[in-house]
Structure 1
Amino acid sequence: MTDMSTGGLAVPRLPQTRAADAPGAPALADDRIELTNERFSNAVATAATHLAAAGVRRGDVVGLLLTNRVELVVALFAAWRLGAAVTPVNPALAVPEVEFQTADAGVRVLVVEPGAQAPSLMTAVECTALLEPAPGPAAPEEDVDGTDVALLIYTAGTTGKPKGVMITHHNIDAMTASFIEHFRFTADDHSLLVLPLFHANGVVLGTLTPLRAGGRATIAGRFRPDEFFPAVQRHRPTYFSAVPAIYAMLTALPDDVRPATDSVRFGICGAAPMPADLIARFERRFGIPIVEGYGLSETTTASAINPLDSVRKPGTVGPPLPGQRIRIVDAQLNDVPLGESGEVVIAGDVVMAGYLNRPEATAETIVDGWLRTGDVGRIDDDGYLQLVDRVKDMIIRGGENIYPKEIEAQIYHDPGVFEAAVIGRPHDVLGEEPVAYVSFRAGAASNVETIANDLRRRIALIKNPVEIIELSELPKNPVGKIDKPTLRRRDAERTSPGRTSR
C-alpha cells in the first residue's frame, strides 16, 4: 500500500493513506461498529475537530479512559492528527490512580465512556460524541516529527509510582515495520484483538501493525474463554496476541470444545514466559502454532520472537527482531560468554525516548544507547534468547542464586497445574527461601503433595519450595501477568512477624 506521510512517517497518516488506496476495504471493527477505510478516515477527521474544539493543540496530551472499542483507536489517530500525544488509561484503575496518571502526563482532555465522570477540573469528552457530526470547518492537520511523543504508556508501578514511557512516532514506525517483516504481514492479515488497548502490545501489535500492512483489526472486547473461539469462527482472523494466562484458560475449556481454527496462521504469546508444556498442550488441541516473544513497553512492544517458518524453540523467546540488538551483560555491563546468564540489554530504533519527567530513572535505564531491562537471560548457539528470570525476582538462599522461573517450569510438567508462581520468603538465617503458589485445573488429580514429591525428583533440594500453597486463582496485574508483588504481600500477611520457615 502507499506509504505517504508527513516527514516520512507511515503510521500517523494511516487513515488517509488507506482511504486513498482502498476506500471500501475493511479497516476496524468491534461488536457495534464496522469501519471501512473511508469511514475510518472520516471518523478520525471528525474526532480531531471535536478534540480541537475541546482545546487540544499540538504538543498537548489526550487521555483515553476507555474500554477496548473502535472509538479508542479513532481518538488515538485524531490526537495524532492534531500533533498531540496520547496516554491510554486503564479503566479499571481507582480514581486516585486515574488522577495520578492524568496529572503526571499533563492531560489536556480526557476521552471517557458515555456517562462516565472525569476527575474534577478536567475537560472530558464522551467517546461516542467524537463520531457525531462536528460543527464548523475541519481542524487543520498538523505535521508530526519522528521525535514527537506519540504514546505515554504507564508502567504497572510495582516498584514505586508508575512511570510514563515516552514512545515516539519514530519508535512506532520502527516497531510496526519490524513486525511486518518478521511475520510477513500483508493486506490479507486480520488481527483479533483480545489484549487491552492501554498496553503497548494491544495498540502496536494488535492494531497499528495490521493497519499499516493494509490488513484489518477486529476488537473482541473483554476476554472471556467461552466467547473466544466463537469470535474466531465469526471473524476468521489470521492471528492474535495473548498472554500465558489466556492460553491456560483456553486449554481448560471443556473437551468437547473443538472449534474451526483454519483461518488462524499463528498466535503470539508475550508479557511473561510461557511454559513449554502449555505451548504443546495448546498446539495439539487447537492446531494453532504459538510463537513466544519478549519485549517491554520501553521497547515499544517486542524485541525477540520465535520465527514462523524456521525452528521454533519452546522455552525461548526466539532471536532478536529485525532492527534490534540484544546482549547479555554482567553487573558492570560487560558481555558475558555465550550461553551464560546475565542481564538482557537491548538497542535499536524501538527503544523509548525515556521516562516522562524522570531524567534520573531514564539515565539508569538507558546507558550508552542500551536499554537495561532488569531481566536475566542467556543466548544459545543459534542466537535464541532464553529468559531466566527478573533480576528483582531472583531468590538468594544461603548465598545460592535461585531463579523462580526454573522451579515454575518444573511445576508445569504436572498436567493438572493451571498456574504457578514462585516467590522468595524472607528467612532470618538464609536470607530467603522459595515458596510456590499454584492453582489446579478443574478435575485435576494433582495436589500440593504430588507436586512436592515430583519436585524432589526433578530439582536440587536447595531449589525445592519450603511450602506449596494452593489458591483458586493467582492474582493478575492489568496486563494479565501473574502479580508477584501481590503474592509477596499476601505471603507476608499469612506469615506471622518474626516467623522462621522450616
Structure 2
Amino acid sequence: MLNLSVVLEDSARECPDRTALVLGDLRMSYALVDSLACQVAHLLASQGIGRGDTVALACPNLPYFPFVYYGILKAGAAVVPLNVLLQPQEIAYHLRDSGATTLFCFEGTADLPLGERGLAGFREATGGTDGFFLLPATPMATESGIEGVPTLWAALAGRPGEFETARTGPDDTAVILYTSGTTGRPKGAELSHQNMLMNAIVSDEMFPRAGEDVFLATLPLFHSFGQTVIMNVGFRRRAALALVPRFEPGAALALMRQEKVTLFAGVPTMYWALLTAVRAGGEVPPTLRTAVSGGASLPVEVLKDVERTFGVTVLEGYGLSETSPVASFNQPGRPTKAGTVGTPIWGVEMRLVDADWKTVPGEGPGEIAIRGHNIMKGYRGRPEATAEVMRDGWFRTGDIATRDADGYYSIVDRAKDMIIRGGFNVYPREVEEVLMTHEAVSLAAVVGVPHESLGEEVKAYVIRTPGATVTEPELVAWCRDAMAAFKYPRVVEFRDGFPMTASGKILKRELR
C-alpha cells in the first residue's frame, strides 16, 4: 500500500498540535486538517466513490484545498485540480475528460465568481447537480443559497473524524494534472502515488531546514509546482503553510515578516514584483532561509538582485506537470550556477536528444529527455499522445537546453510556441481554435510578446473575414468571456496576410 495522504497523516500523528495552515487570524493544527480530510473521505465513500474514481477540486489557496485534496486521496480516488480561472465550458471539458462526476468548488467572489462558473460547467458535463459541493466563502456556512446544492459543511455534518485510508498501490493514479503540451486540447497527465510522494520526499531532502519551518504558499496549489514543493513538501516537513489566495507583493512581504517565513518558492514574475515592492518601501523578511524559483527561466540580473536584496541564495530548478514536477535543481551542497536549472535530482536521469531520440553528445543543444521515479504514467485516455513523448521510460519534454561540463542544464528555448504569462502556461493553438469560432475571424495566429512584469503577454494576429468590421476592443472583450483570464489575448493586431512557409505553415517567428 502507498498513499500520498501519508504526508499529512504522519505529521498529524507525530505533531498533532503543530500549526499546519495559517490564513489571516485562522490557525489550523495538523490534527484538525487530518480530521477534516477524514470527514471528506467519509463523504466520498458514502457516495460510492473510491479507488479508481476521479474527483475534481476548484479552489484557490484556502484551507479547503489541502483537506479536500487529502480527503480525496484517503478515499482512494484521484484528485483533478482545476485552475480557478477556467470558464464554464472549460470546466465541463476537464470534468468529462477526467471522468470526474464529483466537484468540490469554492464559491468565489464578485470578481471571481468561481461557484457560478463551476456549477454551470458541472451541469453541462453531468446534466445535474448531484455530486457538486460548494466550498462557501463564509466560514462554516451550511446554507449555500443555491437550491439543491449543499455546502461542504452541511455535507460533512455528523461524519466521523477518523477514516481508514484506502489501500491504494504505488502505481495507482493520485493526481491528474491538465496540460496542453503545444497542440490540441488540454491533456490529463496521470501521476501515481509513487510519482508524487517520491518527488515530495526528494525535494524535501534537498531544501535546508530551519527548525520549525514556515512556507509562504503563494504559488497556486492547483498547479504542480505549488502542490509538490509547497503543500506536499511542507506537510511532510510538518511546516506551517501561510496561505496567500492572491499574490500581491507588498502584502506578501508583510506576511513573510509577520509569520516569520523561512521558505519562499515562486515564479520569476513574483521575484520581480517582490523586488519592486522592496524598492517602494517594503521591508525584507529577516527569517527567510530558502528561496526557490521555477516555472520559467529567472533572468540572471533579477536573480542577482534578489540575492543581494534578500540575502539568500536563489535555488533555481526545472520540471513539468508530467514530471511531478521537479526534475533538476541547483542543489544545496553543490555550487549554484546562475542561469542554469541545475543537475538532475536524486533518482532521475536527464539527457539531450535529437528528433529521432538519439543522444546529443557534449554541450548540445538538444531536447531534454527525462527518466526516473517522477515520470507520469501517461496522458489519460490518450495512448497515441503518450507514445509520442515516451519511449523506454524516457519522457521528452520539448524543451531545448544545453549542458555544461559539470552536468548543469540551461534552458535555451521552450517547446515550440508555448507562452508563459505570469507563470501560467498558455498554448497558442488552444487560443487560436477559440478565436476561430468568432464569425469575424478568418485566420488567427497567437504568439507571446515581451511584457515587463508578466514575462510575456498573449498577442493575437487576426485576418478578418471579408466585410467584417470587428474592432480590437470588441474582439478582446469577446475573448475575455470565452477563455480563462490568463489565456485570452490582451492585444489584437489585424493583418491582411501572414508570412508562410512553402508548405503553408505560419511563420510565427516573423510575427513576434
Q: Same fold (TM over 0.5)?
A: yes
Q: Is the 8 A contact 1:374 1:392 kept in 2?
A: yes
Q: Aligned ranges for residues 117-128 of structure 1 at < 5 Å?
A: 117=116, 118=119, 119-120=122-123, 121-122=128-129, 123-127=131-135
Q: Aligned ranges for residues 223-262 of structure 1 at < 5 Å?
A: 223-253=247-277, 255-262=279-286
Residue 369 of structure 1: how far off its partner (Å): 0.6
Tell me what 1:153 maps to. 177
Tell me what 1:470 maps to. none
1:233/1:125 CA distance change after superposition, 3 Å: same
Tell me what 1:20 maps to. 13
Tell me what 2:384 maps to. 360
Q: Is the 8 A contact 1:28 1:36 kept in 2?
A: yes
Computed over aligned residues only, the root mean square deviation of the Cα atoms, in angstroms, reads 3.0
Is the deviation greater in 156-165 or in 337-346? 156-165
Match for residue 279 of structure 1 among 271, 289, 303: 303
Is the deviation greater in 47-56 or in 262-271? 47-56
Residue 331 of structure 1: how far off its partner (Å): 1.8
Cα distance in 2 between the residues matched to 1:193 and 1:436: 28
Tell me what 1:134 maps to. 157
1:498/1:341 CA distance change after superposition, 3 Å: closer
Q: Deviations over 1:180-208 (max 9, x none)?
A: 22224476322111111211111111110
Match for residue 174 of structure 1 among 188, 195, 198: 198
Q: Is the 8 A contact 1:319 1:384 kept in 2?
A: yes
1:205/1:258 CA distance change after superposition, 3 Å: same
Structure 2: which 5+ runs fail to align?
109-114, 137-150, 421-427, 429-446, 454-479, 501-509
Tell me what 1:464 maps to. none
Cα distance in 1 between the residues matched to 2:223 and 2:39: 25
Which structure has more relative contact order (CA 8 Å, sep 6+)? It is: 2
Q: Is the 8 A contact 2:368 2:396 kept in 1?
A: yes
Q: Deviations over 1:419-455 (max 9, x none)?
A: xxxx9xxxxxxxxxxx9944458xxxxxxxxxxxxxx
Cα distance in 1 between the residues matched to 2:11 and 2:325: 24
Q: Aligned ranges for residues 23-42 of structure 1 at < 5 Å?
A: 23-31=16-24, 33-42=26-35
Q: Is the 8 A contact 1:181 1:322 kept in 2?
A: no
Cα distance in 2 between the residues matched to 1:74 and 1:314: 37
Q: Deviations over 1:8-64 (max 9, x none)?
A: x36322333222212111122323642112112211112222233344232211111
Residues 1:77 and 2:70 are matched in the alignment: yes
Q: Is the 8 A contact 1:258 1:286 kept in 2?
A: no
Match for residue 369 of structure 1 among 370, 393, 396: 393
Q: Is the 8 A contact 1:50 1:134 kept in 2?
A: no
Q: Is the 8 A contact 2:204 2:237 kept in 1?
A: yes
Match for residue 195 of structure 1 among 208, 214, 219: 219
1:332/1:439 CA distance change after superposition, 3 Å: closer
Q: Aligned ranges for residues 55-454 of structure 1 at < 5 Å?
A: 55-114=48-107, 116-117=115-116, 118=119, 119-120=122-123, 121-122=128-129, 123-127=131-135, 129-131=151-153, 134-135=157-158, 140-156=164-180, 158-185=182-209, 188-253=212-277, 255-393=279-417, 437-440=449-452
User: How high is the sequence identity, in percent, across the aligned residues?
Assistant: 30
Cα distance in 1 between the residues matched to 2:339 and 2:159: 57
Residue 214 of structure 1: how far off its partner (Å): 2.7
- After TM superposition, the score normalised by the length of structure 2 is 0.75
1:20/1:42 CA distance change after superposition, 3 Å: same
Aligned partner of 1:360: which letter? E
Structure 1: which 5+ runs fail to align?
1-6, 395-403, 406-422, 424-434, 442-474
Cα distance in 2 between the residues matched to 1:332 and 1:149: 30
Q: Is the 8 A contact 1:266 1:288 kept in 2?
A: yes
Residue 244 of structure 1: how far off its partner (Å): 1.1
Q: Deviations over 1:78-126 (max 9, x none)?
A: 1111101110111211110000001111112100124824221242112
Tell me what 1:51 maps to. 44
Is the deviation greater in 293-302 or in 244-253? 244-253
Q: Deviations over 1:383-416 (max 9, x none)?
A: 100111124149xxxxxxxxx99xxxxxxxxxxx
Cα distance in 2 between the residues matched to 1:101 and 1:289: 39
Aligned partner of 1:99: which letter? A
Q: Is the 8 A contact 1:327 1:345 kept in 2?
A: yes
1:126/1:148 CA distance change after superposition, 3 Å: same
Q: Is the 8 A contact 1:266 1:290 kept in 2?
A: yes
Is the deviation greater in 211-220 or in 185-194? 185-194
- After TM superposition, the score normalised by the length of structure 1 is 0.77
1:16/1:285 CA distance change after superposition, 3 Å: closer
